[in-house]
Structure 1
């Protein structure tokens, strides 16, 4: 089988770490998100979880190309919070991810450079300990076979398909999602198992 082609990585679940610098608490919360709206919902949840903080700075990055992103400094000097957070997200090749760094000011100003490093370090702590999952591309296929080959086709689908369903008519049709990089292997196994009596067509990518 060919090597899996990973589109990008995201997080399997939420991760949180805290650092303290000169009395200021920086609490980084990293969470997988599906959309801008989802990111804002999680941002509000973090605000409620840590009420009364001085700043709730964040960055999110979405999609396979990672070009849908936003940063927010929430009153910190421009470019000192959101951009360092985003840089670390990019460093880990992550997308569909939101990182919120909550700051409780400790009374001592850090200066622009140290402040940016603090936000980056808090983000690094949250992401370095988080479990990543690979996002791969699937294609939907329609498989056609006669009734004598149903058992053989089901065995192939059990081996290769993320999911599938069947329609039983004059012949049998299966709709299934197959990993794109495994499609050639699937086609070969299907032909071998049914002596090329079964076939399939591509429907869409997902």
Structure 2
């Protein structure tokens, strides 16, 4: 395990940037999946159907390894890339940043577009509430039936997530816990002799 935390935003943040008659409305959303991002994009496009362009970028994964950009008809790399650049400048992940442009009648040129989309995206992130969160890890837990209620209580008290449960000769749980809570739970092995933990 390397990084133990990641940064994201806690709720929707909006901003408006104007340049030579064009209005750029930026929306920053916390997201957990590509499907969620695309659904939000579709909703915003319907809400702002008269806008000329709906440009966006998102980054996903606790390590930020999954991303996508879209220029939505603007010249290549003048919208999606500078939007993503601001996401990276703030070291964020699990975020969608969408900028809607209402054309004002004056062409901005490549440099002007890059600056406008960058400024709009930056303003939305500066207005956002940014939070550092602990990365959850998948943990396999095996214990007997007597110890099970205590183990489940601990997981829920630490805001862990139980992904699956299997009850046979022993109880087997798959859950998500932060590294800190995993290490604390591992100390319970002296108290609950049946407890077996494995990081996946």
1:174-185 to structure 2, matched below 5 A, reads 175=173, 176-185=175-184
2:59 equivalent to 1:61: yes
Aligned length: 195
Is 1:197 equivalent to 2:183 in the alignment?
Answer: no
CA distance change for structure 1 residues 178 and 37 in 2, over 3 Å: closer, same or farther?
A: closer
Deviations 1:59-85 (CA, angstroms, capped at 9, x unpaired):
122223323222222222222111100
- What's the counterpart of residue 131 of structure 1? 129
Q: What TM-score does the superposition give when structure 1 sets the normalisation length? A: 0.77
Gaps of 5+ in 2: none
What pairs up with 1:31-50 in 2 under 5 angstroms? 31-50=29-48
- Is contact 2:57-2:97 (8 Å) kept? yes
Rounded Cα–Cα distance in structure 2 between residues aligned with 1:54 and 1:177: 43
Is the radius of gyration larger for structure 1 or structure 2? 1
- Displacement after TM superposition at 1:9 (Å): 2.5
What is the match of residue 141 of structure 1? Answer: 140
Partner secondary structure for residue 118 of structure 1 = helix
Pairing of 1:155-166 with structure 2 (within 5 A):
156-157=154-155, 159-160=157-158, 162-163=160-161
RMSD: 2.9
User: Equivalent residue for 1:94?
Assistant: 92
Whole-angstrom distance in 1 between the partners of 2:148 and 2:35 = 43
Residue 129 of structure 1 deviates from its aligned partner by 1.8
Instruction: Give the TM-score of the pair, scaled to structure 2.
Output: 0.79
The SS at the match of 1:83 is helix
- Offset of 1:137 from its aligned partner? 2.2
Distance of aligned partners of 1:169 and 1:43 in 2 relative to their CA distance in 1, 3 Å threshold:
closer
Kindly indicate whether the alpha-carbon contact (under 8 Å) linking 1:161 and 1:177 is maintained by their aligned counterparts in 2: no
Corresponding residue SS for 2:160: strand
* Alpha-carbon offset, residue 161 of structure 1: 5.9
1:119 CA displacement:
0.5
5+ residue gaps, structure 1, are none
- Rate the CA distance shift 1:53–1:169 in 2: closer, same or farther, 3 A: closer
